[in-house]
A and B are shown apart, each in its own frame.
Chain A
Amino acid sequence: MADRRPTHRAAASLRRRILLILSLRWAVRLAAGWCFAWGVAVMVFRAVPGMDAGPLVWGLAGLALCAAGAAALAWRRAPSRRAVRAVLDRACSGGGLVMAEAEVPLGPWAARVPPLTVPEVHWRKRPAALVLLAATAFVVFSFAIPQRFVEIASSRPLQVADEVASLAEQIQVLEEEQVLAVEEARSLEQSLEQTSEQAAGEDPAKTWEALDHLEDAVRTAAVDAAETALQQREALGQAEALSRALSTEADGLDTQALAAAMKKLADLLEKAAKDGSPLDDAALKEALADCQAGDLSAAECLRLANRLAMAGEMLKAKLLRLQEVNLIEIDALKLGEGWALDPGDLIAFLEGQGIDGLEPEALIEAWLAGAPGRGGVDRGRADAPLIQGDASSADGMEFVETVLPPPTVADLKESHLLGVTLGAPAVEAGGPAAGGALAPAAAGAGGARTHRVLPKHQPAVMRYFQREGEGAGRPAASP
């Protein structure tokens, strides 16, 4: 039978209120958490291709679970009946009677219990309600947002437009400069376009790898073409120099030298005409045939030189264009004006050699290699003939006397410890040993000073004084 005492009813009522508030509080919190998780799941399912977010509507059932969980949590946190009676006693100023009623019979005091009013239970619900509202809005948003926005958000393309544009420009330049064949250029462009389209992706590493591969192929082709062009430019320069020399000095050359020069010119033209050179035309082929036959006139040599100069400029323009699109890096020296050789007067060079036994081909080769000092370390041939001039005269030459530093320090550095004596050091007659420049000087010996030559210098000094022939034992001319 239920307890019908007013205090019991009031205590039960207050406990129910507290339970209700606690349940609501937990329900709002759990529901907010669930809604956020639910919304995230919906967004993920809608964003991932091939996954259907429709069944996630059943997430609504999770709210029922939240309510059940909230009730369970509230029941666990519910205050004890004793505590509830204590609250009632305090609220009605019962002086302990309300609390005591649950433990001992009040008897006549029951009539003296103050009138009970169940106190209010306050819950600061605004923050929790706002969070729940936001969570609910998020769930609604996750379902309501159009699919295209979700897809755009999920399949955001990789930002490779700059790289693709740069590569496209490089391929176009290589095609225009005939570095790449048309079919090859089309193939590269298709690969580039395909890579750009597939860059929407889930796998950015794949895209970057493909772009790196294309860039490597393009750059390799450009570098090969540049090396070939540089070799052609060198050959063109030499051919131009030789043809200009022949246009003016052909009459002064003997038959053998002229034939050698023509043959060299033909070799250079043949070398420069390979691999898509600008010289690849009929006129040059005819000139090449004339050269090989040795029938090139002075006027033809001059025209040929001009054409060769134009071809060199075209190659220079090609290299500059490759450099503009960052395909190659060529220093200014290789592209500068220095490529056009000016080895000087051919006949004077040939006459000036005056060395018997040298073939005309070798002399022309030396002439084309340029005067000494023109090539630098990376120019000219390593097996160029060493041409000796007149011997220098030793007359009037003498050594410049240089005072050497005292050898004491060097002596100490070069010395080795042989032993340590316990006795006093032996002092030679003639005074104490001392260092310094004047130490070796002997009074009245006829020499102002004498040097003690170190062992490592002795062979060199001996070789100097043992030279045979003229000038031996005399100071040699200074270089």
Chain B
Amino acid sequence: MTDAPSLLQPEELAGATALTTRVLEQLGRLLLGQADLHRMVLAGILSRGHILLEGVPGVGKTALIRGLGRVLSLPFGRIQFTPDLMPGDILGTHILQPTPTGERQMAFQPGPIFTNILLADEINRASPKTQSALLEAMQERSVTLLGQTRPLPEPFFVMATQNPIELEGTYPLPEAQLDRFLFKLRVTAGDVAVLDEIITTRRRGEPPEPTWTMSAQDLARVFAIMDRVYLARAVSRYIARVVAATHAGAAEATDLVGQYVAYGASPRAAIAMAESARASALLAGRPTVGFEDVRRVAPAVLNHRLILNYKARFDGVDAFQVVDDLLGALDEAELDLPADVQVAKESGT
């Protein structure tokens, strides 16, 4: 509830923060050297959003999602997307079955999507028709087959991965589907120290079993706490201004936006940014959202939602640069002072 009459009590927040901290610890044990990635993935989970992980093969995308499912004690389903994958292979299908009375009737056989955490591995290898089968499931969290709508289990997360190279034989995700992902996170390889630790501590690279798992009740409690993280009006306005400024021609759009952005972010991006900023504040142990939370999640929320023009490709400008430029240019407080009058951003300076 955003209109909470009062802030969270410190002890309530402390319990939730302790749980999330333990989840992060367990993820840190499973996948070494990716603390920031774990934090963002957990923020996405707490925001009940879907996450698209992008990285070259072998950096641990699948292992991270598999480990997350185990730590959260949630049923985990995996679909390896291939060009010949059909929507029925994901959603399920009706089959003809004999009844005890000897008659035959159509019975629904649920697909692998009926789970809590769905790993859509290499999602961009499936055809657009199959990719579109996920649209309703991701947004409405339900599946409609033969006119009958079936709700998906709560909570429901789609954790998709895609490979930025080997683009031959792939189908880029349509914008409508990209917009349904809360975050698009880049997974990079660890440094020498991390690789050395992996080699020395893990036989054949197999991650250790989690020493602690979060129960379903704890997860529901954390979700409830997350809903009560307070978003001040100044911060919500900042989020709105950031999203509005991603459109070329907007009042506060930067030169980089005007030059390279063909289409800006949707209102769904503003909602996603507010939710994920709340999760970021919760992970930081605060009952209120600050500007730093917005700045932390903004690149992950916006980078896959900005459609850049061909000029950006030629000039080697990507969405992260545009977002960084935007965040640097916008004054969070919106003081609207003359150019020759400035307020120091830090006390005592």
Chain A interface residues toward B at CB < 8 A: 14, 18, 21-22, 25, 77, 79, 82-87, 89-97, 99-100, 103-109, 112, 116-125, 127-128
Chain B interface residues toward A at CB < 8 A: 4-7, 9-10, 230-235, 238, 281, 284, 286-293, 332-338, 340-349
Q: How far is the CA of A209 from the CA of B334 in the complex (A)?
A: 68
Q: How far is the CA of A202 from the CA of B254 in the complex (A)?
A: 57
With A85-B234, A106-B7, A108-B10: A97-B347 Cβ-Cβ less than 8 Å? no
Residues in B with CB closer than 8 Å to A103 are 230, 232-233
Which listed residue (A85, A109, A116, A124) contacts B340, Cβ 8 A?
A124
Q: How far is the CA of A18 from the CA of B342 in the complex (A)?
A: 9
Central interface residue in B231, B291, B293, by most chain A CB within 10 Å? B291
Q: How far is the CA of A119 from the CA of B346 in the complex (A)?
A: 6
Contact B334 A122 (CB under 8 A): no
Q: How far is the CA of A333 from the CA of B334 in the complex (A)?
A: 93
Q: How far is the CA of A85 from the CA of B332 in the complex (A)?
A: 11
Residues in B with CB closer than 8 Å to A77 are 336-338
Contact B288 A22 (CB under 8 A): no
With A85-B234, A96-B232: A79-B336 Cβ-Cβ less than 8 Å? yes
- Give min CB distance, B332 to chain A, whole Å: 6
Q: How far is the CA of A119 from the CA of B345 in the complex (A)?
A: 7
Central interface residue in B233, B234, B337, by most chain A CB within 10 Å? B234
Task: Report 28 cross-chain contacts, Cβ distance below 8 Å, ordered by A residue.
Answer: A18-B341, A18-B343, A77-B336, A83-B336, A86-B235, A86-B238, A86-B333, A89-B234, A89-B291, A95-B284, A95-B286, A95-B288, A95-B289, A95-B290, A96-B231, A96-B281, A96-B286, A97-B287, A97-B288, A99-B235, A108-B9, A112-B10, A118-B347, A119-B347, A120-B349, A121-B342, A122-B342, A125-B340
Q: What 6 A-B pairs have minimum CB-CB distances, sorted nearest first?
A: A96-B288, A117-B347, A86-B333, A99-B232, A95-B290, A96-B290
Residues in B with CB closer than 8 Å to A18 are 335, 337, 341, 343
Contact B347 A92 (CB under 8 A): yes
Residues in B with CB closer than 8 Å to A90 are 291, 332-333, 345
Residues in A with CB closer than 8 Å to B343 are 14, 18, 87, 119-122
Contact B337 A79 (CB under 8 A): yes
- Give min CB distance, A118 to chain B, whole Å: 7
Contact A22 B341 (CB under 8 A): yes
Contact B232 A100 (CB under 8 A): yes
Contact B287 A82 (CB under 8 A): no
Which listed residue (B10, B338, B345) contacts A91, Cβ 8 A?
B345
Contact B347 A83 (CB under 8 A): no
- Contacts A100-B230, A100-B288 supplied; 6 other A-B pairs, CB < 8 Å: A22-B337, A86-B235, A96-B289, A106-B7, A122-B344, A128-B340
Residues in A with CB closer than 8 Å to B5 are 104
With A119-B346, A121-B343: A89-B6 Cβ-Cβ less than 8 Å? no
Contact B9 A117 (CB under 8 A): no
Contact A119 B349 (CB under 8 A): yes
Across chains A and B, the number of contacting residue pairs, with CB separation under 8 Å, is: 138
- Output the nearest chain A residue to B235 by Cβ-Cβ distance: A96
Q: How far is the CA of A118 from the CA of B343 in the complex (A)?
A: 10
Q: How far is the CA of A104 from the CA of B229 in the complex (A)?
A: 12
Chain B contact residues, majority secondary structure: loop
Residues in A with CB closer than 8 Å to B341 are 18, 21-22, 25, 121-123
- Give min CB distance, A95 to chain B, whole Å: 4
- Give min CB distance, A176 to chain B, whole Å: 75
- Give min CB distance, B14 to chain A, whole Å: 11
Residues in A with CB closer than 8 Å to B234 are 82-83, 85-86, 89, 99
- Give min CB distance, A77 to chain B, whole Å: 7
Q: How far is the CA of A84 from the CA of B234 in the complex (A)?
A: 10
With A83-B234, A99-B234, A100-B7: A91-B340 Cβ-Cβ less than 8 Å? no
- Give min CB distance, A216 to chain B, whole Å: 65
Residues in B with CB closer than 8 Å to A119 are 343-349
Residues in B with CB closer than 8 Å to A122 are 341-344
Q: How far is the CA of A100 from the CA of B235 in the complex (A)?
A: 10
Which listed residue (B10, B281, B290, B338) contacts A89, Cβ 8 A?
B290
Residues in A with CB closer than 8 Å to B231 are 96
Q: How far is the CA of A353 from the CA of B231 in the complex (A)?
A: 136
Contact A83 B334 (CB under 8 A): yes
Central interface residue in B9, B286, B347, by most chain A CB within 10 Å? B347
- Give min CB distance, A17 to chain B, whole Å: 9
Residues in A with CB closer than 8 Å to B346 are 91, 119
- Give min CB distance, B90 to chain A, whole Å: 40
Contact A82 B233 (CB under 8 A): yes
Which listed residue (B10, B233, B281) contacts A95, Cβ 8 A?
B281
- Give min CB distance, B9 to chain A, whole Å: 7
Residues in B with CB closer than 8 Å to A128 are 340
- Output the nearest chain B residue to A127 by Cβ-Cβ distance: B340
- Give min CB distance, B110 to chain A, whole Å: 43
- Give min CB distance, A75 to chain B, whole Å: 14
Residues in A with CB closer than 8 Å to B232 are 96, 99-100, 103
- Output the nearest chain A residue to B334 by Cβ-Cβ distance: A83
Residues in B with CB closer than 8 Å to A106 are 7
With A86-B332, A109-B10: A91-B284 Cβ-Cβ less than 8 Å? no
Residues in A with CB closer than 8 Å to B338 are 22, 25, 77
Contact A94 B290 (CB under 8 A): yes
Central interface residue in A95, A120, A122, by most chain B CB within 10 Å? A95
Contact A107 B349 (CB under 8 A): no
Which listed residue (A14, A107, A117, A121) contacts B7, Cβ 8 A?
A107
- Output the nearest chain B residue to A95 by Cβ-Cβ distance: B290
Residues in A with CB closer than 8 Å to B348 are 117, 119-120
- Give min CB distance, A72 to chain B, whole Å: 16
Contact B340 A83 (CB under 8 A): no
Residues in B with CB closer than 8 Å to A116 are 347
Residues in A with CB closer than 8 Å to B337 are 18, 22, 77, 79
Residues in A with CB closer than 8 Å to B287 are 97, 100, 109
- Give min CB distance, B339 to chain A, whole Å: 9
- Output the nearest chain B residue to A22 by Cβ-Cβ distance: B341
Q: How far is the CA of A25 from the CA of B342 in the complex (A)?
A: 12
Q: How far is the CA of A90 from the CA of B290 in the complex (A)?
A: 8
- Give min CB distance, A166 to chain B, whole Å: 60
Contact B332 A91 (CB under 8 A): no
- Give min CB distance, B199 to chain A, whole Å: 39
